[in-house]
Amino acid sequence: GKVSLAVEFDLRERIYTHLQSLELGYFDSQQTGQLMSRATVDLQSIRFFLGYGLIFITQSALTLVLAGAIMFVLQPGLAALALLPVPFVVLTAARYNRTSRPALQEVQQRIAELTVEAEESVSGVRVVKAFSREDHMLERFRHRVSRVFDQNVYSTRLRAFYNPMIAFLPNLGLAVVLLVGAFTVFRPSDGGGETASEGTTPVGTSDLPVTYNDAKAADGDLSVYPDNCDPETGNVKLPSIYAPPCVPEFTGDNGGETYQGVSSDTIKIVEYRASQNGDLSALLQGLLDPPENQDKTKAALQMMFDDFYETYGRKIEIIPFEATGQMSDETAATADAIKVADEIGAFASWGGPALATSYQETLASKGVLCIGCGQGTPDSAFQENAPYLWGYQATPEQFLINLGDFVTKDLNGRKAEWGGDDVKDKDRVFGVVHFEQEVPVYKDLESEVAAEGKKRGYETKVTETYTFDIAKFPERAQTIIAKMKSEGVTTIIFLGDPLMPIYLTEAATAQNYFPEWVVTGTVLTDSTTFGRRYDPEQWKHAFGLSSLPARTLREDGEAYRLHNWYFGEDPAASTLVQLMYPAIQQIYLGVHLAGPNLTPESFRDALFSLPPAGGGPTSPHISFGDRGYFTSPITGESRPDYLAIDDTTLMFWDAEAFGKDESGCEAAGMWRYYDMGKRYMPGEMPGGGVALFDPTNTVTIYGTDGAPPIPAEDVPPEYPSPNKTVPYNQADVIPPSNAACTV
């Protein structure tokens, strides 16, 4: 990605330098628009070739040569059949090249002519208006646009004719291989009619280990389970609501290389490390806990998981990978994914760029798992790329089930009673502000929400989007707020990053506009840490939903508490340990339940087999697979769930409440959890109007002075501490700073 951009930059600079060296007479014979087009559109094609085309040409050539060689070594006959269509593909591609090149060159030329027309029309607008030639110039411009359109249609028709043919021909070879292979496999053998496949397990079929509770229910042999199995719960003796089910203690052969990145000794997991200068989550995490402390905590968590999760004779090897681009750089993300899959040969990636979906999509296309990749990835991406994408918090479509119920049952058709004086006596009028990527990915979701809302009597008056460009946030926020105010919006539903509300709330106060703010729990917007950074005059009107649990003391959080129990020490990354924990725990859990035959399919079946757990105020309900919780917004059919958390809680902002935020900073302003943090599964929102902004029967932090202790249903079993030593020198831990408290 960087090379292609650098080449484009260098060529453009050379063109400009060359143009400056030419005589003035040259410019008398050349049209400015033609020169502009050559320096922009044409150079962009070169960048695309270097950034995409050259990579895929090289990759395809290497794959063809290397795979062909291996195939001929293993099965010469089948290899010849598989490669039989290759000459026809080459001939068809060559013919397409000869036909399409003039057509594409003509497209470029016509775009240049259109640029000339536009440049001359704008620069000569005074002459045009002086002689009243507007209609004539408009007709000329229409003609140029039409020429570009017609040529593009012609080029597209060529592509539509040849591309399917090029894609179809290799499938003929595959079909022949499947037919011949099937005939060979199922042909009766000389020894009496048994098939060659009888008594074997087909490749890719899961063979999951039997859990303790399943064995107990079937009166199976319980002696094969390890000493760290609790016979009362059937789970490993880990003091957690989410302790994994016990599986038999492994002995024997694990099958060796069952999949890419899996050997008899190791499982390769790449840890994607975003650029501190270019990624929002990395920047924020760097403020909360130094990277050095984060690394120490990750190593400690892995040591703990190694003790309690079965990995079948293999060691999970976590390989740090430094990102080459910023969080929205699709070209760099694609290149990074190719390196992770092809050069490193990873089984899975832990994390990915926040906003570049090409990373996870490329990994999925190459059969590599991506766990905790991206922010706000649509559910459709998880379904289309199954079983390779996994995560922790619900997808937008999943979250919108409860959000839609809350808005239509509790807010719609009522007064904006929790807004400022300018709106609180008015009927609610809804506006939506949501993040969008450079190439829109949420358009279909918008349409689905609008259609479903219409059925339920709900309508969004104004929808405004923004892209992640912090430099433009202040100006964009002013425009968004002005539109919301002018359209009479009383209630703004926000779905986006944690920085944009800083500018939106400032703009609203500056414009003397005090609407209700509905948060949806996207990317830390439901955290107290960020809530205190929003304009307090605005945020005292904030309420909404969160998929995160009701807060406890930091030391009572799942990850912090387990670290302290196992080592007798606080984690080095005391703030971020709770954010690191879910993804690495999900990796170990999938490996633990998949058995020795580790593949993406067995990993999927493992997590789908996990019994649901949690559901109390401080322990979200976690499950995977198709359990009927989530349905398609289009068909209404139930579909598999690849994200951990299923439920949500209601909350509102209490500007007067005093206490610590998630990073340990004490100040005024806290989220209050409605009905003591009760959690609602999809379709279970209360309805009928809820009494928000009433502190009765609410909690800010469980376990603090004046607040009740953690609910009994969320208290895990107790087990003796192993009292292990942390895998680093305590003297090297960087002491906590108050940087996060002063940002």
**448 confidence band (pLDDT: 50, 70, 90):** low
Return d(Cα 513, Cα 537) in angstroms, integer.
Answer: 10
Identify whether residues 354 and 448 lie together within a single domain.
no
Residue pointed to by tokens 């020169």 = 35
**What is the rounded average pLDDT of the residues 200-219?**
74
Confidence at residue 184, expressed as pLDDT on a 0 to 100 scale: 57
Give a yes or no: residue 9 inside a domain: yes
Confidence at residue 190, expressed as pLDDT on a 0 to 100 scale: 39
Return d(Cα 434, Cα 391) in angstroms, integer.
Answer: 21
Give a yes or no: residue 344 inside a domain: yes
Query: Cβ(271)–Cβ(318) under 8 Å?
Result: yes
Query: Cβ(317)–Cβ(611) under 8 Å?
Result: no
Identify whether residues 34 and 182 lie together within a single domain.
yes
Q: What is the DSSP string of 676-740?
A: GG-EE-TT----S---TT--TT-BSSBTSTTSPPPPGGGPPPP-----PPPSS-GGGSPPP-SHH
Identify whether residues 526 and 567 lie together within a single domain.
no
User: Does pLDDT of 195 surpass 90?
Assistant: no
| Helix runs in 278-338, H state only | 280-288, 291-308, 330-338
What CATH number is attached to the domain comprising 585? 3.40.50
- Specify the 3-state DSSP secondary structure of 87: helix
Mean pLDDT for the chain overall: 86
Confidence at residue 205, expressed as pLDDT on a 0 to 100 scale: 37
Question: What's phi and psi for 685, nearest 5 deg?
Answer: -60, 145
Structure tokens at 229: 């199995």
| Helix runs in 393-535, H state only | 396-406, 443-455, 473-486, 500-510, 528-531
User: Does pLDDT of 540 surpass 80?
Assistant: yes
Return d(Cα 673, Cα 539) in angstroms, integer.
Answer: 15
Identify whether residues 145 and 90 lie together within a single domain.
yes
Across 376-429, the runs of DSSP E, i.e. the strands, are 389-390
Question: What's phi and psi for 701, nearest 5 deg?
Answer: -140, 120
Where a domain ends, among 163, 186, 209? 186
Q: 100-109, 388-397, 488-497, 706-715: which range is least confident on average?
A: 100-109
**What is the rounded average pLDDT of the residues 221-231?**
97
Give a yes or no: residue 519 inside a domain: yes
Identify whether residues 304 and 171 lie together within a single domain.
no
**Strand pairing class (369-371; 389-390):** parallel
Confidence at residue 198, expressed as pLDDT on a 0 to 100 scale: 33
Structural domain count of the chain: 3
Q: Which domain holds residue 92?
A: 2-186
Return d(Cα 92, Cα 392) in angstroms, integer.
Answer: 46
Give a yes or no: residue 639 inside a domain: no
Identify whether residues 477 and 334 lie together within a single domain.
no
Return d(Cα 594, Cα 588) in angstroms, integer.
Answer: 10
Identify whether residues 136 and 106 lie together within a single domain.
yes
Confidence at residue 103, expressed as pLDDT on a 0 to 100 scale: 74
Residue pointed to by tokens 């060691």 = 315
Q: Would you tell me how many other CB atoms lie within 10 Å of the CB of residue 689?
A: 12
pTM, to two decimals: 0.71
Chain centroid to CA 453: 26
For the chain, the farthest-separated pair of C-alpha atoms sits apart, in whole angstroms, at 98
Structure tokens at 650: 């209601």
What CATH number is attached to the domain comprising 133? 1.20.1560.10
Confidence at residue 51, expressed as pLDDT on a 0 to 100 scale: 63
Identify whether residues 21 and 99 lie together within a single domain.
yes
Query: Cβ(272)–Cβ(608) under 8 Å?
Result: no
Identify whether residues 327 and 427 lie together within a single domain.
no
Confidence at residue 356, expressed as pLDDT on a 0 to 100 scale: 86
**What is the rounded average pLDDT of the residues 724-732?**
92
Confidence at residue 685, expressed as pLDDT on a 0 to 100 scale: 92
**Strand pairing class (235-236; 229-230):** antiparallel
Whether the upstream peptide bond of residue 387 has omega within 30° of 0, thus cis, is: yes
Identify whether residues 237 and 285 lie together within a single domain.
yes
- Is the four-CA dihedral 279, 285, 290, 295 of positive or negative sign? negative
Identify whether residues 263 and 309 lie together within a single domain.
yes
Give a yes or no: residue 720 inside a domain: no
Confidence at residue 201, expressed as pLDDT on a 0 to 100 scale: 30
Identify whether residues 543 and 560 lie together within a single domain.
no
Question: To the nearest whole percent, how much of the chain has pLDDT over 90?
Answer: 56
What CATH number is attached to the domain comprising 520? 3.40.50.2300
Chain centroid to CA 154: 37
| Helix runs in 124-133, H state only | 125-130
Query: Cβ(670)–Cβ(527) under 8 Å?
Result: no
Give a yes or no: residue 420 inside a domain: yes
The DSSP 8-state label assigned to residue 671 in this structure reads E
Give a yes or no: residue 194 inside a domain: no
Whether the upstream peptide bond of residue 474 has omega within 30° of 0, thus cis, is: no
Give a yes or no: residue 518 inside a domain: yes
Size of the chain in residues: 743
The DSSP 8-state label assigned to residue 713 in this structure reads G
Q: Would you tell me how many other CB atoms lie within 10 Å of the CB of residue 98?
A: 9
